[in-house]
Amino acid sequence: MHMKPHLLLSALLMVWSGAAVETVWLSELDLGKMHSGWGQPRANQAVTGKPMAIGGHQYERGVGTHARSTCWLELAGGADRFQATVGVDDNAGNAKASVSFRVVGDGRRLWDSGLMRLGQPGKPLDLDLKGVQTLVLLVNDGGDGIDFDHANWADARFLVSGAKPQVIDRPVPRDEAVVLTPKPGPGPRINGPSVYGCRPGNPFLYRIPTTGERPIRFTAANLPASLELDSATGIVTGRVDRRGKYLVTLEAANAHGRAARTIEIVCGDTLALTPPMGWNHWYTHYDRITDQLMREAADVMIRSGMADVGYQYVNIDDCWMNAPKHRDPLRVGPLRDAQGNLIPNRHFPDMKALADYIHARGLKAGLYTSPGPLTCAGFAGSFEHEGQDARQFAAWGFDFLKYDWCSYGQIAQKDPEPQLAKFKKPYRLMGDLLERQPRDIVFNLCQYGMGNVWEWGAEVGGHCWRTAGDLGFELDRIFEVALKNAEYRAHSRPGSWNDPDYIQIGFIGNARGMGEPSRCPISPTEQYAFMSLWCLMAAPLFYSGDMGRLDEFTLNVLCNPEVIAIDQDPLGQCARVLAADEETFVMVKDLADGSKAVGLFNSGELAARVTARWAALGLTGSQRVRDLWRHEDLGLFAAEFSATVPRRGGVLVRLQAAQD
């Protein structure tokens, strides 16, 4: 294999200048810390395991990966140049395969490929790295899902005259974990959404989310006669038999005062009138989950105060069923009984009893499966047993179903229908089945954005749908993920939510190795930005950290009622993005009361001044500005609001027109 002329020239120039130059191939480095959207990065072949080829040209060296992927490298100023040819692998298998490549050095963008598609010739790059300490190689998706986005860093090499490059974990700045939000006072405050959806005749369960010193006494005016309120717990149960809208005034009182709030109960066909909120076990316990851990999570949701600000679902993810094989023998066994019923593994002795335990606390229980024969972790799926499973889930008492594509891809490959029809098929089937059950079950489509799911998710019975890959593999890219998710804002509305994946702060397990929980790899500043972005997007708020290791800072980020109110606003709008430059941007979200939520964000590595101008936000006249994280009124601003935003941080405010 011969070096291309322009690459050879740059190497010769360094030799002629007297520098001792060594070639270090990217594929020879330890790629274990390189993050890839799906599958492990591969040295000297495509991520599929096939020979690496771009635009009809085959390459012997390089790294094959999958959008979205990130590779952090410590250069320590020892690398002189980085050279490669990049493009979509010829074996991607679908014309929709599209990616973009980016190289960032010490927080500065050094090179961007632009959009690249299947069949295009590779794009060469030859970058001067003198003095660069840290380099990041990024592959982004092209905005049409990541299913076929196989990307190659072909002939990727460093020309080195000093320290040899090392692949590293993403550095985590040591920002101080400052608690910004005041603790709730002793008096009662009723939180949560102002609208709640249910279906006629199905079991009704709602715990009034209320902060304040207990005991609290609850009352409700104009509650439908078929519903009953437990005055000591604030849990509403029963059924609403007739379709319609019921305006109910809730009141909470304790020794320190009383609070009232009006909520509209809408009995009809639509659930999840605001984005669902809760906890999911995946990014903490992975294949270690047990019945006992689920019960403990429900108890902590109450004890920690999470339920008092609106978190209500306690959701099991993968690995509760039996598997054909697994390292834990208690998770191995027959997948179904003689009647075809799904068999939980021995860590889950009684699924109905578990759901009942969660319900007794006024919370809701969620479950997981796949339309394929096996789940992503290799446990029993629902293929050819969909109706039986839907009935079983309802009989057990579960209120939420995450339906994960996984091995259904093998079924879809054999299906002669058009591609979009294949994407819809398993979700339409299960969506129809769930709607027939005598239970309100929120349906989450987990298929990573394939086929522009945001355009048809509601059509097949979904209430929320993943718009991209697993966020656990790209926590260093929360800003990019949010910006991409916000592009689909037209499809966000009550009952239909774009889902960019779970909130992963506090203690979480490493997604690549399904490891034991440790401190999350993003700074406290980024954690505030994370929650702000998700609330502005009207995203489902599912925490997926360790409920047994919640600390004051993590609860402060998760449980700010004024921030959560932005997510739960009944208008259901995802914020629109106003770009400022490559690293800063503003997001603005219209709220039901006529005010606006505005986020000022900085994805760069240095603090930056960011400005929201009223004219760009569609506002006229002076606006009252409130800092939602600190619960502070900042004053009256005539035409704009500016803030110095820390590196990889955000500022979240609410704007209200000044009264005459």
Q: Which residues are catalytic?
A: 404, 470
DSSP letter at 188? -
SS3 201: coil
Residues in the chain: 660
> What does the alpha-carbon distance between residue 483 and residue 537 come to, in Å, rounded to a whole number?
9
The answer to whether 470 and 511 have CB atoms below 8 angstroms apart is yes
| DSSP string of 361-402, one letter each residue | TT-EEEEEE-SSSB-TTS-B--TT-HHHHHHHHHHHT--EEE
Among candidates 633, 546, 532, which has minimal Cα distance to 587? 532
Contact partners, residue 493, CB within 8 Å, separation at least 6 = 572, 573
Amino acid at 66: H
Strands 442-446, 400-404: parallel, antiparallel or unpaired by DSSP? Answer: parallel
Tokens of 560: 């700010």
> What does the alpha-carbon distance between residue 580 and residue 268 come to, in Å, rounded to a whole number?
42
The answer to whether 401 and 433 have CB atoms below 8 angstroms apart is no
The answer to whether 546 and 508 have CB atoms below 8 angstroms apart is yes
Tokens of 320: 């509760």
SS3 98: strand
How many CB atoms within 10 Å of residue 349? 11
Amino acid at 287: D
Among candidates 174, 233, 182, which has minimal Cα distance to 205? 233
